[in-house]
Amino acid sequence: MQKSQEKTPLWRQLQATARVIQAVREGVSGGAAVEAVAAELRPGVQALAFHVWRNLGRAEALRKQLAKRPPPAAADALLCVALALGWTDEAAPYDAFTLVNQCVEAAKKNPATRMQASFINACLRRFLRERDALVQATDADPQARWNHPLWWIQRLKKDHPEHWQTLLQAANRQAPMALRVNALQNTVPSYLAELAQRGMAAHAIGSTGVEMASALPVGQLPGFGEGRVSVQDAAAQMAAPLLLDGLPNRAGLRVLDACAAPGGKTGHLLEAGVGQVTALDVDAERCERIEQNLARLKLKAQVIAADAAHPERWWDGQPFDAILLDAPCTASGIVRRHPDVRWLRRESDIAQLASMQALLLKTLWPLLAPGGRLLYCTCSVFRAEGSEQVQTFLANNTDALLLPSPGHLIPAKTAKADGLPDNHIGDHDGFFYALLHKQPT
Protein backbone atom coordinates (compact mmCIF):
# COMPACT_ATOMS: atom_id res chain seq x y z
CA MET A 1 0.00 0.00 0.00
CA GLN A 2 1.34 3.41 -0.91
CA LYS A 3 1.87 5.99 1.79
CA SER A 4 0.67 8.69 -0.58
CA GLN A 5 -2.99 9.72 -0.52
CA GLU A 6 -5.13 7.48 -2.72
CA LYS A 7 -7.57 8.91 -5.28
CA THR A 8 -10.39 7.75 -3.03
CA PRO A 9 -10.40 9.92 0.13
CA LEU A 10 -8.74 8.07 2.97
CA TRP A 11 -11.58 8.88 5.34
CA ARG A 12 -13.95 6.82 3.15
CA GLN A 13 -11.61 3.85 3.28
CA LEU A 14 -11.29 4.19 7.04
CA GLN A 15 -15.07 4.33 7.43
CA ALA A 16 -15.50 1.18 5.39
CA THR A 17 -12.65 -0.58 7.19
CA ALA A 18 -14.20 0.22 10.55
CA ARG A 19 -17.50 -1.30 9.38
CA VAL A 20 -15.65 -4.46 8.36
CA ILE A 21 -13.89 -4.69 11.75
CA GLN A 22 -17.18 -4.14 13.57
CA ALA A 23 -18.92 -6.80 11.46
CA VAL A 24 -16.32 -9.42 12.38
CA ARG A 25 -16.68 -8.49 16.05
CA GLU A 26 -20.39 -9.20 15.60
CA GLY A 27 -19.79 -12.63 14.08
CA VAL A 28 -19.57 -11.99 10.33
CA SER A 29 -16.64 -13.59 8.50
CA GLY A 30 -14.02 -11.21 7.21
CA GLY A 31 -14.53 -12.36 3.63
CA ALA A 32 -18.25 -11.67 3.74
CA ALA A 33 -17.70 -8.30 5.43
CA VAL A 34 -15.19 -7.19 2.79
CA GLU A 35 -17.43 -8.46 0.00
CA ALA A 36 -20.17 -6.11 1.25
CA VAL A 37 -17.91 -3.08 0.71
CA ALA A 38 -18.46 -0.96 -2.41
CA ALA A 39 -16.42 -2.35 -5.31
CA GLU A 40 -14.32 0.79 -5.79
CA LEU A 41 -13.25 0.71 -2.12
CA ARG A 42 -12.85 -3.04 -1.70
CA PRO A 43 -9.16 -3.60 -2.60
CA GLY A 44 -7.93 -0.80 -0.35
CA VAL A 45 -10.28 -1.71 2.47
CA GLN A 46 -9.21 -5.35 2.38
CA ALA A 47 -5.55 -4.36 2.64
CA LEU A 48 -6.31 -2.02 5.55
CA ALA A 49 -8.50 -4.60 7.30
CA PHE A 50 -5.76 -7.25 7.08
CA HIS A 51 -3.32 -4.77 8.63
CA VAL A 52 -5.80 -3.98 11.41
CA TRP A 53 -6.51 -7.64 12.25
CA ARG A 54 -2.78 -8.31 12.52
CA ASN A 55 -2.46 -5.41 15.00
CA LEU A 56 -5.85 -5.41 16.70
CA GLY A 57 -4.61 -6.80 20.01
CA ARG A 58 -2.23 -3.86 20.36
CA ALA A 59 -4.93 -1.43 19.24
CA GLU A 60 -7.43 -2.67 21.81
CA ALA A 61 -4.83 -2.44 24.56
CA LEU A 62 -4.03 1.14 23.53
CA ARG A 63 -7.70 2.04 23.47
CA LYS A 64 -7.99 0.82 27.07
CA GLN A 65 -5.14 3.18 27.99
CA LEU A 66 -6.89 6.08 26.29
CA ALA A 67 -10.43 5.33 27.50
CA LYS A 68 -11.18 2.92 30.31
CA ARG A 69 -14.76 2.48 29.11
CA PRO A 70 -15.24 1.52 25.47
CA PRO A 71 -17.26 3.94 23.34
CA PRO A 72 -20.22 2.70 21.25
CA ALA A 73 -19.34 -0.16 18.88
CA ALA A 74 -19.01 1.89 15.68
CA ALA A 75 -16.80 4.51 17.32
CA ASP A 76 -14.68 1.88 19.05
CA ALA A 77 -14.12 0.10 15.73
CA LEU A 78 -13.01 3.33 14.04
CA LEU A 79 -10.74 4.28 16.93
CA CYS A 80 -9.14 0.82 16.95
CA VAL A 81 -8.63 0.99 13.19
CA ALA A 82 -6.62 4.20 13.58
CA LEU A 83 -4.60 2.79 16.48
CA ALA A 84 -3.87 -0.48 14.67
CA LEU A 85 -2.68 1.37 11.57
CA GLY A 86 -0.62 3.97 13.38
CA TRP A 87 0.77 2.49 16.58
CA THR A 88 4.23 2.10 15.00
CA ASP A 89 5.84 4.15 12.24
CA GLU A 90 7.74 1.15 10.84
CA ALA A 91 4.69 -0.61 9.36
CA ALA A 92 2.20 2.26 9.18
CA PRO A 93 0.63 2.65 5.71
CA TYR A 94 0.15 6.40 6.29
CA ASP A 95 1.89 8.97 8.47
CA ALA A 96 0.35 9.36 11.90
CA PHE A 97 -0.95 12.92 11.50
CA THR A 98 -2.69 12.12 8.19
CA LEU A 99 -4.21 9.05 9.75
CA VAL A 100 -5.57 10.94 12.75
CA ASN A 101 -6.98 13.78 10.65
CA GLN A 102 -8.70 11.41 8.23
CA CYS A 103 -10.04 9.23 11.04
CA VAL A 104 -11.67 12.24 12.69
CA GLU A 105 -13.08 13.24 9.30
CA ALA A 106 -14.48 9.72 8.92
CA ALA A 107 -16.14 10.02 12.33
CA LYS A 108 -17.74 13.37 11.47
CA LYS A 109 -19.16 12.11 8.17
CA ASN A 110 -20.78 8.96 9.60
CA PRO A 111 -24.09 9.33 11.48
CA ALA A 112 -23.15 6.30 13.60
CA THR A 113 -20.01 8.01 14.92
CA ARG A 114 -20.72 11.73 14.56
CA MET A 115 -21.57 12.15 18.25
CA GLN A 116 -18.22 10.58 19.21
CA ALA A 117 -16.07 12.59 16.77
CA SER A 118 -14.73 14.91 19.49
CA PHE A 119 -14.00 11.95 21.75
CA ILE A 120 -12.13 10.15 18.95
CA ASN A 121 -10.20 13.34 18.17
CA ALA A 122 -9.18 13.77 21.79
CA CYS A 123 -8.05 10.15 22.11
CA LEU A 124 -6.00 10.24 18.94
CA ARG A 125 -4.41 13.64 19.67
CA ARG A 126 -3.33 12.29 23.05
CA PHE A 127 -2.03 9.20 21.30
CA LEU A 128 0.13 11.39 19.03
CA ARG A 129 1.55 13.22 22.04
CA GLU A 130 2.18 10.18 24.24
CA ARG A 131 2.60 7.35 21.75
CA ASP A 132 5.89 5.94 23.04
CA ALA A 133 4.73 5.87 26.65
CA LEU A 134 1.34 4.39 25.75
CA VAL A 135 2.90 1.66 23.63
CA GLN A 136 5.36 0.84 26.40
CA ALA A 137 2.48 0.62 28.87
CA THR A 138 0.85 -2.09 26.71
CA ASP A 139 3.98 -4.17 26.11
CA ALA A 140 3.23 -6.50 29.02
CA ASP A 141 -0.26 -7.30 27.70
CA PRO A 142 -0.09 -10.70 25.91
CA GLN A 143 -2.87 -9.72 23.52
CA ALA A 144 -0.95 -6.58 22.56
CA ARG A 145 2.33 -8.48 22.27
CA TRP A 146 0.96 -11.30 20.10
CA ASN A 147 -2.17 -9.73 18.54
CA HIS A 148 -4.36 -12.73 19.34
CA PRO A 149 -7.11 -13.22 21.93
CA LEU A 150 -5.80 -14.35 25.31
CA TRP A 151 -7.66 -17.69 25.17
CA TRP A 152 -6.00 -18.46 21.83
CA ILE A 153 -2.52 -17.74 23.22
CA GLN A 154 -3.18 -19.89 26.27
CA ARG A 155 -4.48 -22.75 24.11
CA LEU A 156 -1.34 -22.69 21.95
CA LYS A 157 0.90 -22.67 25.02
CA LYS A 158 -0.88 -25.80 26.25
CA ASP A 159 -1.04 -27.59 22.89
CA HIS A 160 2.42 -26.65 21.59
CA PRO A 161 4.63 -25.66 24.52
CA GLU A 162 7.76 -25.67 22.33
CA HIS A 163 6.26 -23.92 19.32
CA TRP A 164 3.53 -21.55 20.52
CA GLN A 165 5.62 -18.45 19.87
CA THR A 166 6.53 -19.71 16.39
CA LEU A 167 2.84 -20.19 15.64
CA LEU A 168 1.89 -16.70 16.79
CA GLN A 169 4.75 -15.07 14.89
CA ALA A 170 3.88 -16.95 11.70
CA ALA A 171 0.25 -15.90 11.96
CA ASN A 172 1.19 -12.25 11.50
CA ARG A 173 3.32 -12.80 8.43
CA GLN A 174 1.99 -12.72 4.89
CA ALA A 175 1.71 -16.20 3.43
CA PRO A 176 3.63 -17.02 0.23
CA MET A 177 1.78 -17.74 -2.99
CA ALA A 178 1.94 -21.48 -3.59
CA LEU A 179 0.81 -23.20 -6.78
CA ARG A 180 -0.01 -26.80 -7.68
CA VAL A 181 1.07 -27.84 -11.17
CA ASN A 182 -1.48 -30.04 -12.96
CA ALA A 183 0.46 -33.25 -13.54
CA LEU A 184 -1.88 -34.23 -16.38
CA GLN A 185 -0.84 -31.16 -18.37
CA ASN A 186 2.60 -30.10 -17.16
CA THR A 187 5.61 -30.79 -14.94
CA VAL A 188 7.15 -28.67 -12.22
CA PRO A 189 10.50 -28.20 -14.05
CA SER A 190 8.80 -27.14 -17.28
CA TYR A 191 6.48 -24.73 -15.45
CA LEU A 192 9.42 -23.23 -13.53
CA ALA A 193 11.22 -22.73 -16.83
CA GLU A 194 8.16 -20.99 -18.26
CA LEU A 195 7.98 -18.69 -15.25
CA ALA A 196 11.69 -17.91 -15.54
CA GLN A 197 11.25 -16.94 -19.20
CA ARG A 198 8.67 -14.40 -18.08
CA GLY A 199 10.90 -13.05 -15.33
CA MET A 200 8.82 -14.57 -12.54
CA ALA A 201 11.01 -15.97 -9.75
CA ALA A 202 9.82 -19.21 -8.14
CA HIS A 203 11.08 -22.51 -6.72
CA ALA A 204 9.74 -26.05 -6.39
CA ILE A 205 7.97 -27.29 -3.25
CA GLY A 206 6.89 -30.88 -2.71
CA SER A 207 6.21 -33.17 -5.65
CA THR A 208 3.85 -30.97 -7.66
CA GLY A 209 4.21 -27.53 -6.07
CA VAL A 210 5.73 -24.17 -6.95
CA GLU A 211 6.19 -21.24 -4.60
CA MET A 212 6.28 -17.77 -6.13
CA ALA A 213 8.85 -15.27 -4.90
CA SER A 214 6.07 -12.68 -4.82
CA ALA A 215 2.30 -12.90 -5.15
CA LEU A 216 0.53 -11.73 -8.28
CA PRO A 217 -3.01 -11.89 -9.73
CA VAL A 218 -3.90 -15.38 -10.97
CA GLY A 219 -4.69 -13.95 -14.39
CA GLN A 220 -0.97 -13.27 -14.82
CA LEU A 221 0.01 -16.89 -14.14
CA PRO A 222 0.90 -18.77 -17.33
CA GLY A 223 -1.74 -21.38 -18.08
CA PHE A 224 -3.99 -20.62 -15.13
CA GLY A 225 -7.09 -20.16 -17.28
CA GLU A 226 -6.33 -23.41 -19.10
CA GLY A 227 -6.05 -25.39 -15.87
CA ARG A 228 -2.31 -26.02 -15.99
CA VAL A 229 -1.82 -24.64 -12.50
CA SER A 230 -3.91 -23.92 -9.38
CA VAL A 231 -3.37 -21.86 -6.26
CA GLN A 232 -3.02 -24.17 -3.25
CA ASP A 233 -0.94 -23.94 -0.09
CA ALA A 234 1.92 -26.40 0.33
CA ALA A 235 0.27 -28.02 3.36
CA ALA A 236 -2.99 -28.63 1.49
CA GLN A 237 -1.02 -30.15 -1.41
CA MET A 238 0.02 -33.00 0.88
CA ALA A 239 -3.50 -34.47 1.06
CA ALA A 240 -3.77 -36.30 -2.25
CA PRO A 241 -0.29 -37.89 -2.14
CA LEU A 242 -0.79 -39.01 1.48
CA LEU A 243 -4.08 -40.69 0.63
CA LEU A 244 -2.95 -42.28 -2.63
CA ASP A 245 0.73 -43.21 -2.25
CA GLY A 246 1.11 -46.97 -2.38
CA LEU A 247 -2.41 -47.67 -3.61
CA PRO A 248 -2.48 -49.72 -6.84
CA ASN A 249 -4.69 -49.10 -9.87
CA ARG A 250 -5.56 -45.45 -9.20
CA ALA A 251 -7.72 -45.39 -12.32
CA GLY A 252 -9.97 -47.99 -10.73
CA LEU A 253 -10.26 -46.33 -7.33
CA ARG A 254 -13.53 -45.04 -5.96
CA VAL A 255 -12.72 -42.06 -3.74
CA LEU A 256 -14.90 -39.78 -1.60
CA ASP A 257 -13.83 -36.20 -0.97
CA ALA A 258 -16.07 -35.23 1.92
CA CYS A 259 -16.48 -31.50 2.72
CA ALA A 260 -14.85 -30.87 -0.65
CA ALA A 261 -15.49 -27.20 -1.45
CA PRO A 262 -13.96 -25.26 -3.09
CA GLY A 263 -12.53 -28.31 -4.83
CA GLY A 264 -8.76 -27.91 -4.63
CA LYS A 265 -8.17 -31.38 -3.20
CA THR A 266 -10.78 -32.89 -5.54
CA GLY A 267 -8.85 -31.54 -8.49
CA HIS A 268 -5.57 -32.83 -7.07
CA LEU A 269 -7.01 -36.36 -6.66
CA LEU A 270 -8.12 -36.37 -10.28
CA GLU A 271 -4.81 -34.96 -11.48
CA ALA A 272 -3.12 -37.83 -9.62
CA GLY A 273 -5.02 -40.34 -11.73
CA VAL A 274 -8.02 -41.34 -9.58
CA GLY A 275 -10.72 -42.74 -11.83
CA GLN A 276 -13.85 -41.85 -9.85
CA VAL A 277 -14.17 -39.07 -7.27
CA THR A 278 -17.34 -38.13 -5.43
CA ALA A 279 -17.05 -34.54 -4.18
CA LEU A 280 -19.47 -33.77 -1.39
CA ASP A 281 -20.34 -30.50 0.28
CA VAL A 282 -23.32 -29.39 2.33
CA ASP A 283 -23.49 -25.95 0.65
CA ALA A 284 -25.00 -25.91 -2.85
CA GLU A 285 -23.33 -22.59 -3.73
CA ARG A 286 -19.96 -23.96 -2.70
CA CYS A 287 -20.63 -27.00 -4.86
CA GLU A 288 -20.89 -24.63 -7.80
CA ARG A 289 -17.36 -23.48 -6.94
CA ILE A 290 -16.21 -27.10 -7.14
CA GLU A 291 -17.79 -27.43 -10.59
CA GLN A 292 -16.19 -24.20 -11.78
CA ASN A 293 -12.74 -25.21 -10.56
CA LEU A 294 -13.03 -28.65 -12.17
CA ALA A 295 -14.19 -27.10 -15.45
CA ARG A 296 -11.08 -24.90 -15.51
CA LEU A 297 -8.94 -27.99 -14.91
CA LYS A 298 -10.85 -29.90 -17.62
CA LEU A 299 -11.69 -32.61 -15.11
CA LYS A 300 -14.92 -34.24 -13.93
CA ALA A 301 -16.18 -35.59 -10.62
CA GLN A 302 -19.56 -36.51 -9.20
CA VAL A 303 -20.42 -33.35 -7.25
CA ILE A 304 -23.21 -33.73 -4.68
CA ALA A 305 -24.71 -31.05 -2.44
CA ALA A 306 -25.49 -32.97 0.75
CA ASP A 307 -24.49 -33.35 4.39
CA ALA A 308 -21.71 -35.91 4.82
CA ALA A 309 -23.15 -36.72 8.26
CA HIS A 310 -26.32 -38.14 6.61
CA PRO A 311 -25.15 -40.72 4.06
CA GLU A 312 -28.66 -42.13 3.78
CA ARG A 313 -29.45 -39.03 1.72
CA TRP A 314 -26.65 -39.39 -0.84
CA TRP A 315 -24.70 -42.68 -0.58
CA ASP A 316 -25.44 -45.41 -3.13
CA GLY A 317 -24.35 -48.20 -0.78
CA GLN A 318 -21.11 -48.99 -2.62
CA PRO A 319 -18.08 -48.74 -0.31
CA PHE A 320 -15.26 -46.35 -1.11
CA ASP A 321 -11.65 -47.43 -1.56
CA ALA A 322 -10.43 -44.21 0.02
CA ILE A 323 -12.00 -41.25 1.81
CA LEU A 324 -10.59 -37.76 2.26
CA LEU A 325 -12.21 -35.99 5.21
CA ASP A 326 -11.09 -32.36 5.34
CA ALA A 327 -13.33 -31.65 8.28
CA PRO A 328 -14.87 -28.30 9.26
CA CYS A 329 -12.64 -26.69 11.89
CA THR A 330 -11.65 -23.42 13.56
CA ALA A 331 -9.27 -22.62 10.67
CA SER A 332 -6.69 -21.74 13.32
CA GLY A 333 -3.94 -22.91 10.97
CA ILE A 334 -4.68 -20.44 8.19
CA VAL A 335 -4.81 -17.18 10.14
CA ARG A 336 -1.89 -15.77 8.18
CA ARG A 337 -4.16 -15.91 5.10
CA HIS A 338 -7.34 -15.07 7.02
CA PRO A 339 -6.28 -12.87 9.97
CA ASP A 340 -9.90 -12.14 10.87
CA VAL A 341 -10.35 -15.74 12.10
CA ARG A 342 -8.59 -15.12 15.41
CA TRP A 343 -11.09 -12.36 16.25
CA LEU A 344 -14.09 -14.17 14.78
CA ARG A 345 -13.68 -17.43 16.70
CA ARG A 346 -14.72 -18.02 20.30
CA GLU A 347 -13.08 -20.57 22.59
CA SER A 348 -16.37 -22.48 22.77
CA ASP A 349 -16.17 -23.06 19.00
CA ILE A 350 -13.41 -25.64 19.48
CA ALA A 351 -15.58 -28.11 21.41
CA GLN A 352 -18.53 -27.61 19.06
CA LEU A 353 -16.41 -28.24 15.96
CA ALA A 354 -14.63 -31.19 17.59
CA SER A 355 -18.03 -32.80 18.16
CA MET A 356 -18.86 -32.32 14.48
CA GLN A 357 -15.52 -33.81 13.45
CA ALA A 358 -16.08 -36.85 15.67
CA LEU A 359 -19.54 -37.35 14.16
CA LEU A 360 -18.16 -37.19 10.61
CA LEU A 361 -15.43 -39.71 11.42
CA LYS A 362 -17.93 -42.07 13.02
CA THR A 363 -20.39 -41.70 10.13
CA LEU A 364 -17.96 -42.05 7.23
CA TRP A 365 -15.85 -44.92 8.60
CA PRO A 366 -18.52 -47.57 7.77
CA LEU A 367 -18.57 -46.29 4.16
CA LEU A 368 -14.93 -47.32 3.72
CA ALA A 369 -14.16 -50.75 2.27
CA PRO A 370 -12.01 -53.12 4.39
CA GLY A 371 -8.40 -52.52 3.45
CA GLY A 372 -9.20 -48.95 2.47
CA ARG A 373 -7.85 -45.65 3.79
CA LEU A 374 -9.36 -42.57 5.35
CA LEU A 375 -7.27 -39.41 5.54
CA TYR A 376 -8.49 -37.13 8.31
CA CYS A 377 -7.26 -33.55 8.11
CA THR A 378 -8.06 -30.09 9.42
CA CYS A 379 -6.50 -26.69 8.79
CA SER A 380 -6.16 -26.29 12.54
CA VAL A 381 -3.27 -26.21 14.97
CA PHE A 382 -5.42 -27.02 18.00
CA ARG A 383 -4.91 -30.56 19.27
CA ALA A 384 -8.61 -31.00 20.07
CA GLU A 385 -9.18 -30.93 16.30
CA GLY A 386 -6.12 -33.03 15.49
CA SER A 387 -4.18 -35.55 17.56
CA GLU A 388 -6.72 -35.72 20.39
CA GLN A 389 -9.55 -36.31 17.92
CA VAL A 390 -7.70 -39.19 16.27
CA GLN A 391 -6.60 -40.77 19.55
CA THR A 392 -10.23 -40.91 20.66
CA PHE A 393 -11.30 -42.39 17.33
CA LEU A 394 -8.63 -45.11 17.50
CA ALA A 395 -9.65 -46.01 21.04
CA ASN A 396 -13.24 -46.52 19.89
CA ASN A 397 -12.53 -48.33 16.59
CA THR A 398 -10.39 -51.44 16.92
CA ASP A 399 -10.40 -52.00 13.15
CA ALA A 400 -8.63 -48.65 12.60
CA LEU A 401 -4.85 -48.52 12.31
CA LEU A 402 -2.92 -45.25 12.20
CA LEU A 403 -0.44 -45.33 9.33
CA PRO A 404 2.69 -43.10 9.26
CA SER A 405 1.29 -39.56 9.13
CA PRO A 406 2.65 -36.01 9.40
CA GLY A 407 0.51 -35.14 12.41
CA HIS A 408 0.48 -31.43 13.21
CA LEU A 409 2.19 -29.14 10.69
CA ILE A 410 3.59 -25.94 12.18
CA PRO A 411 3.88 -22.86 9.91
CA ALA A 412 7.23 -21.10 10.10
CA LYS A 413 9.63 -19.37 7.75
CA THR A 414 12.35 -22.03 7.78
CA ALA A 415 12.16 -25.81 7.65
CA LYS A 416 12.91 -27.88 10.71
CA ALA A 417 15.96 -30.10 10.42
CA ASP A 418 15.36 -32.95 12.87
CA GLY A 419 12.42 -34.52 11.04
CA LEU A 420 10.23 -35.46 14.01
CA PRO A 421 7.11 -37.45 13.12
CA ASP A 422 4.90 -34.67 14.52
CA ASN A 423 5.09 -30.87 14.47
CA HIS A 424 6.82 -30.59 11.10
CA ILE A 425 7.77 -26.97 10.50
CA GLY A 426 7.84 -25.21 7.16
CA ASP A 427 6.59 -22.18 5.26
CA HIS A 428 3.08 -23.56 4.87
CA ASP A 429 -0.26 -23.25 6.63
CA GLY A 430 -0.93 -24.98 9.93
CA PHE A 431 -2.51 -28.37 9.27
CA PHE A 432 -3.14 -31.77 10.79
CA TYR A 433 -3.02 -35.10 8.94
CA ALA A 434 -3.82 -38.63 10.14
CA LEU A 435 -3.96 -41.53 7.67
CA LEU A 436 -6.18 -44.37 8.93
CA HIS A 437 -6.20 -47.91 7.52
CA LYS A 438 -9.31 -50.06 7.85
CA GLN A 439 -8.26 -53.55 8.84
CA PRO A 440 -10.32 -56.47 7.54
CA THR A 441 -12.40 -58.00 10.31
In a 13 Å sphere around the CA of 26, the CA atoms on its Cβ side amount to: 12
Specify the pLDDT at position 413: 63
| Residues 263 and 290 sit within 8 Å (Cβ to Cβ) | yes
Total residue count of the chain as it appears in this document: 441
Q: Which residues are catalytic?
A: 379
Specify the pLDDT at position 5: 41
Triad 402, 408, 409: Cα angle to 5°: 130
* DSSP state at residue 319: P
pTM of the predicted structure, to 2 decimals: 0.92
CA distance 359 to 240: 23
| Chunked mean pLDDT (size 10), the chain, 441 residues | 61 98 97 96 96 98 94 97 94 91 97 96 96 96 98 98 95 94 96 97 93 94 97 96 94 96 97 97 96 97 97 97 98 96 97 98 98 98 98 97 95 50 66 96 76
Specify the pLDDT at position 414: 52
What domains appear along the chain, each with residue ranges and CATH number?
A: 10-144 (1.10.940.10), 178-231 (3.30.70.1170), 236-438 (3.40.50.150)
CA distance 228 to 221: 10
CA distance 204 to 189: 8
Nearest CA-CA partner of 243 in 255, 231, 251: 255
Specify the pLDDT at position 158: 97
Specify the pLDDT at position 343: 98
Nearest CA-CA partner of 377 in 322, 432, 438, 436: 432
